[in-house]
């Protein structure tokens, strides 16, 4: 009887811990240098952020608006992040869970030939532990130029 009680308590604590810890995934979208308008490929990626499974609840989204040092201003980073947020709200995601951070990449590690990457961190709770959100990137990012 004590073993059964101990096992039940252990199981409840494990489930409570697993439920309290949100899962995290990420997405990356790209903007043209000096640009802040979403490309069709970026919209394809953002369309996957909203889960189509009712057992998954989004708990927070952080958009890291980025600009490169050669683009010379943080306002462009903020505009990029705001465009992403506006699109996500358009999809039906509550604006209250979307947070924006702007940064300037002085190392140029967040860029490709003619594009700047904007990372997005997505926190969610899944009713089932094995559920995950998978963000599928389109085949090529630079086809829109």
CATH topology of domain 23-144: 60s Ribosomal Protein L30; Chain: A; (3.30.1330)
User: φ and ψ at 106, to 5 degrees?
Assistant: -85, -10
Q: What is the pLDDT of residues 53-83, one digit of tens each?
A: 777 888 999 999 988 877 767 888 999 999 9
Please tell me what DSSP assigns to residue 111. B
Q: What CA–CA distances, in Å, run from 63 to 2, 20, 34, 139?
A: 49, 23, 18, 22
Of 38 and 131, the one with more pLDDT: 38
Residues 12-57 have pLDDT tens digits of 444 544 445 568 888 899 998 888 999 999 999 999 888 877 778 8
CB 138 within 8 A of CB 34: no
Radius of gyration (C-alpha) of the chain in whole angstroms: 19
Strands of the sheet containing 115-126, edge to edge, are 23-32, 115-126, 56-68, 98-105
């Amino acid at each position: 009887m004590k073993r059964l009680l101990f096992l039940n308590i252990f199981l409840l604590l494990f489930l409570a811990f697993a439920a309290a810890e949100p899962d995290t995934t990420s997405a990356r979208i790209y903007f043209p240098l000096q640009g802040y308008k979403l490309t069709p490929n970026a919209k394809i990626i953002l369309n996957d952020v909203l889960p189509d499974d009712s057992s998954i609840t989004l708990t927070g989204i952080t958009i890291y608006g980025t600009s490169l040092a050669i683009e010379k201003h943080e306002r462009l980073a903020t505009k990029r992040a705001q465009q992403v947020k506006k699109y996500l709200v358009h999809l039906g995601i509550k604006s209250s869970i979307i947070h924006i951070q702007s940064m300037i990449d002085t190392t140029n590690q967040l860029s490709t030939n003619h594009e700047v990457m904007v990372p997005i961190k997505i926190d969610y709770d899944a009713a089932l532990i094995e559920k995950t959100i998978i963000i599928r990137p389109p085949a090529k990012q630079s086809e829109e130029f």
